[in-house]
Each structure stands twice: as C-alpha cells, then as structure tokens.
Structure 1
C-alpha cells in the first residue's frame, strides 16, 4: 500500500523531471511504513517488563525531522529563482503517508494520496489556462567545462519574451563536457529557432538540443 501510494505521487514528479522521482518516493514511503511497524510491534516482547516505558511514536517521530534533510537536497537556488520546493513537500507528505500506512490507517493515507495527486495535476491545468497556454520544453546544452559562462546562457534565455526558466540542472560526463539541462516554459506551441541559434553561438557551446 505504501509503495503504491508513494509511487503514484513519485510518478507525477518523475514526469516533471524533478530531482526526486518515482523510485525516491517509493523508498521514502515504504521506509516510513517499515519504521512505523517497528515502532508499534518491534518492542512488543519488552512491554511486560517492569520499569519499561513503551512509546511507539518515539522512533517514527524521527522520520518527520529526518525527511527534512532529504527534502533539502531537492531544493535548488539559482539567483532569485528557487525550484524543488514542491518535490520537497511531496517527499514530506509521502513520508506521512508511509507512517499512516504502517500504523494501519489506510483510509487517511488513501485520501491524502488522492488530494496530493489531484492537486499536482490540477496545477498543470491552471498553468495552461492562466499562463497564456505555455508549453513545457527541455533544452540540453553541451559545453566545455572551462570556457562556457552559465550566466550568459541564462541571460540569453531570460531576455527572450516568450521563454521562462523553470529548472536548471548541471551534469558532467566522462568526455570532459558539461551538460546543462534547462526546463523551460514556452509561450505558444514551439520554441523560437533564433534562441537556439543564439545559444549555439556562445563561446564554449558544443551543441544545443531541444529534447521535447
């Protein structure tokens, strides 16, 4: 149950190219459920001992504070733009769903899963209605590590009136190149070819590809 509900929310995050996706959410949810089961049943043999204080919430309570470290790893800050807050919040909720499932409270866990999942889906629809029907796209920019200026790339994209940056991720590969992945929103149905040309002309850029 925990894997199913956590995986459902993680699947939605995976489709949005979030730092924590399907597998991470399943692990958090199942792990939280296991910790709750241990808290409730793991010390049953000691309950009847004298001078033994049984508090099933003690171990599970650490999940609430501990999940903050994992959530913080999904939050990225670039200038005045902060991304990953929704994913961090979804991990926190998934941990609560796992704890609820482990305690046997299936109905609250199911209701919470439905609310979170529907809320994430509805948000996309509202974006399309109130943000001039912007389309999500992903740009992959392959660069030489020592030459390219990230700020120049951001400036070029930011200066385009029809494009806004939603997420940014930097990866290095074995060929001494860096891949900068921009998740952007386009006003309209397609990306302006002039923007791709401007990015390609920046010194140090090897290639620019629009994934979708």
Structure 2
C-alpha cells in the first residue's frame, strides 16, 4: 500500500487513513459479536483496542522517519508492538470474572488480545493476515460456539450452592426435586456453615448446613425449574448458582 516512489519509512496520508479505518471495521466486527452476547468487553472496547494498536504500530513504523538518517539512531519498528502485546493483558484481566468455581470472561479476554494483534497487523500493512485472522476469530466466536454447546451439552456440569435449615429428610427433599426434572447429581459436598456467613449457627432453632451440588443436565430450562422448586421449600435459607441467586429473609 506504500507508494514505491517513497522510502520504506514513509506512508501517504491516504494509506494512513485506510489502515486506521480498516482497524476500526475489523475490531468492530469482533466487538459486535461480544456486544450481542452481553459480554464485558463489547463493541466500542474492541474498536478502541484495535485502533489503538494500529496507531501504535503506525507510530512505530513511520512516526520516527525523520530520525532514520541520524548516525546514532537505530529504528526498530517491532519495539512498540512488543509492548502492546505484553501490555494488553491488563484489559483482558479486567474481563475475567469468578463466581465460586465458575470462571467467566476468558474468551472475551482472548478476543481483546487478538484484536490488539489485528490492529498491529493492520498498522504494519499486513492486511491479508489481519483479514484472515478476523474471519477466523468470528468463525470461532459464533459458529464454533454453537458447535461446542451442541457437542458438550450432555457433558457439562453445573454447580449450585444451597444453605438450608438442617431438618430430617432434607437431602431426600432436595434430591427429589432434581430427580423430577431428570437432573443427575454427580457430586455432593456437605459442611456446616462457616463463621463468615450471615446464616452462621442457627436459624431459629435449627442448625444451618451448607451443600454444594455438582449437577448434569442438558437443558437449562430443567435446571431453572428445579431451582425454583427448591427455593420454594421452607428448609432453604439461600441458594446460589450461575445466573441464579436467591435469598430468603430470615427472622
């Protein structure tokens, strides 16, 4: 894209604008998919990361062209790019969230890192690589996401934490609600409620027990139905699972 009549260290204003606009478009395409699925880093975030990376790459390549012929100056276009690759991690870390044993945001963090790579590629004039990378990222985020959910829908486990008033037959009551919805209990961990909990000790006259269920269910609707049934039980004090939090008012 650089005019052959110019030095390798020079770029025309048109080429500069084209590269920056292309960075906005490619970053926006990936960000649009993230925004559509309500992830932490969305449309504008991906645009800014891609455009910023492209601008830094352009600066690294052409911003210091006036000093190329200086005797004691050595130009290395990859130095600023290397700082972008290592420094973009703090944005990715901000997109990663942990809820109990469930970690979310890793894919979004990876997409932010990839958008930075796309921006660097566009800024460096590696347009074909940037286009192919954007296409493959969109395939991975959209098409392969649906494929992955279809393949592992019978293998994925869900974890739910339930705090209850310990009562005779409490375990069979909970298990019956899961069984009615065809939910398989893979693992169960039982422990007295910790001292840091607001429900520590006893609620009324009954001791409090903390249960952690690992479940397997192919249909999300079945899980929600079971959660709602369990929450309606008098023995349940609180319940927490992915995208589902319930607390009762305790006298």
TM-score by length of 2: 0.57
| Match 2:119 to one of 98, 104, 108 | 98
The aligned counterpart of 1:195 is 227
The aligned counterpart of 1:124 is 146
Q: Which aligned pairs between 1:160-199 and structure 2 lie closer than 5 A?
A: 161=183, 187-188=218-219, 190=221, 192-193=224-225, 195-196=227-228, 198-199=230-231
1:89 correspondence with 2:110: yes
CA distance in 1, matches of 2:106, 2:225: 31
CA distance in 1, matches of 2:106, 2:230: 31
Q: Is the 8 A contact 1:32 1:63 kept in 2?
A: yes
CA RMSD of aligned residues (A): 3.0
**1:154: Cα distance to partner?**
4.5
Give the 3 Å change call, closer, same or farther, for CA 104–11 of structure 1 in structure 2. Answer: same
| Match 2:99 to one of 56, 63, 78 | 78
Structure 1: any 5+ residue segments left out of the alignment?
Answer: 135-152, 163-184, 207-212
Give the 3 Å change call, closer, same or farther, for CA 99–84 of structure 1 in structure 2. Answer: same
Deviations 1:35-67 (A, max 9, x none): 001111111111112211111111121100110
Give the 3 Å change call, closer, same or farther, for CA 82–188 of structure 1 in structure 2. Answer: closer
Structure 2: any 5+ residue segments left out of the alignment?
Answer: 1-21, 163-174, 185-215, 239-245
CA distance in 2, matches of 1:44, 1:118: 38
The aligned counterpart of 2:56 is 35
The aligned counterpart of 2:27 is 6
Higher relative CO (CA 8 A, sep ≥ 6), structure 1 or 2? 1
CA distance in 1, matches of 2:111, 2:53: 14
Larger radius of gyration: 2
Give the 3 Å change call, closer, same or farther, for CA 98–196 of structure 1 in structure 2. Answer: same
Q: Is the 8 A contact 1:13 1:22 kept in 2?
A: yes
TM-score by length of 1: 0.66
1:73 is paired with a residue whose SS is helix
Aligned residues: 165
The aligned counterpart of 2:37 is 16
CA distance in 2, matches of 1:106, 1:120: 21
The aligned counterpart of 2:194 is none
Give the 3 Å change call, closer, same or farther, for CA 198–89 of structure 1 in structure 2. Answer: same
